[in-house]
Amino acid sequence: MIHRVVAIGGPPGSGKSTAGRRVASALHLEYCSAGDRFREEARARGLSLEEFGRYAEAHPDVDRGLDEFMQRRAKAGALLDGRIQGPLCRRAGTPVHGITVTAEEAVRARRVADRDGVPVPRALAEIRSREASERARYLRYYGIDLDREPSDLTVDSTETPPDGVVTAILKFLEAAEGAGP
On the question of pLDDT at 181 being above 50, the answer is: no
Q: How many domains does the chain have?
A: 1
Report how far residue 100's alpha carbon sits from residue 14's, in angstroms, rounded to the nearest whole number. 9
Q: Over the stretch 33-67, which tens digit does the pLDDT of each residue have?
A: 999 999 999 999 999 888 998 899 899 999 999 99
Report how far residue 90's alpha carbon sits from residue 85's, in angstroms, rounded to the nearest whole number. 9
At residue 101, the 3 state secondary structure works out as strand
- State the first-to-last Cα distance of the chain, in angstroms, to the nearest integer: 10
* Domain carrying residue 64: 5-177
pTM of the model: 0.91
Query: In a 10 Å sphere around its CB, with 0-12 CB exposed, 13-18 middle and 19+ buried, how is residue 87 labelled?
Result: buried
pLDDT at 164: 98
Mean pLDDT to the nearest integer, 2-24: 96
Mean pLDDT to the nearest integer, 170-175: 96
Q: Over the stretch 79-92, which tens digit does the pLDDT of each residue have?
A: 999 999 999 999 99
Q: What is the CATH number of the domain that holds 158?
A: 3.40.50.300
Q: Over the stretch 142-169, which tens digit does the pLDDT of each residue have?
A: 999 988 999 999 999 999 999 999 999 9
Q: Regarding predicted confidence, which is higher, 50 or 117? A: 117
Exposure b/e, 97-135, CB count within 10 A at least 16 = b:
bbbbbbbebebbbbbbbeeeeeeeeebbebbeebbebbe
pLDDT at 157: 98
